Chain A
């Protein structure tokens, strides 16, 4: 006997089914009943019930890719904040083998890295590594943080959401499973992308989100809603640079990035293989949360480490960026007597 339907919003302690159903993640069995342990959405697969949480803290898992911040440099390792109740360590050995180097010359406090969880010990401390190209230190860009449970939604079915944002904003985007997202592009586009990501986070469980985001992007960037699928025309206009030195630096940066990306490109494939299991999981989440994108098929193009470098430096001057969503409606009312 089952008491809920797929995608129902449920709360902790709510009875979901009798014990002819199997308790999956986010549920527990007590006195012959399957109950929810979280606030979240029901996901039904045959006779297995899961609850996809609306909010949750990231707990490190072996094989995950995460974005972390160096919090401390120690004798033979770095302490890394991975946006979790559990901190990570990056052993010096993982970075330069048996060589002896000064750690803080390589990565210093405040640096932000893209890392892989190579192991998790019994107290959940995560051992991190940088093996695999595409992993490493971020230069420039911004960090956006979202609830880790919204990561699959941000990526979208087969990477549809994240790719759309990348194409439209010309930003490079890297998503860590711990809910941190790195975005790099034109300054205004970075800010627009931040806003878009937060919108996706806030409205992750609503339907028709991809279209909504598409409209929002088009409105902000082109100043109008998308008519149909047409080739985008780019107005090629260099942003005004303030002085020569800056211009030089920018060129240098772009060159360095280009190299890095060339490297990283060959890498994406490899990555997606390792991730298969997690993807399958994430895909389920996506399905549970977004029915409007019900095409099955390939695995989502997860953690797109980096995108090809095509029309990037020709970023356009800021059009009318709208920051309309800065409202916070945390209005609890203190009664006025």
Chain B
């Protein structure tokens, strides 16, 4: 696992070429480790005829059979006892099936190196005391979702002066805290500390709508940031585009382009993808992304839409090195973006099927419908 550590302390986080050999080696070690520690995983790979020696170059990563997230929702695979994990998470808090996921100590450290690097690159680390609007769940013992934990984690990168949550835990259930949020943003606007607004885009849209309804317009203190993540609705019921949401944030709160960030990560593949100034998720050295044909599962070239397969040697706690999500995405060449980052980026187009599998972001939009 030494190669993994080497990978996760790489300095130039978007220079994929320089890390290809390390990545391949780390991945090979990762798969071998899990095949040894997790008999169920070994059975799966054996059944699918996988041969570890077939991994000869970085182009062979697609030979590692990916585990579909829909499969993991019903079957948790562990390489270490769940009770011994350092950070435990479940995907999907309030509805649908849960995926157990988590970090052991060594994965946790690598994860921290990564988060620090990614956040520093995107200028999200600050020592200034910051006021937070958190458009998600107030932490509670009963809520172990990755999303709740991620939201809490985000507040560590700039020390919090005050935090206000959109969903507060009252009398055993979560309630929408509309008045509290409005009061908080008005208060924050009068102070000099920067503000950070983080959470689901659907909630952010609702928050902006509420401000507009009340004719509230303000310029938040310099360096205030918006960071949204998860829950961009699929093609067929897309309510608003990222660009439109940014325009609204700019108009109502004076958020500048470089301070509007989108974030992508999953419980099964906890790599941080943070959008560049052109709003694209470039692939960092910590992972590789394969797009697979929706019929044959063969890897596709850039600019073709297919199933999103995410690969990383991060986790030693569970055999989630290669994960196939329910997302349909397209890979594009880094040079097409123009932001200066050279690594390729992916765009999410939608989710499989017409009745897709429930995830926590979907439940959040249901929650929203319920309380409108």
A binds B: no
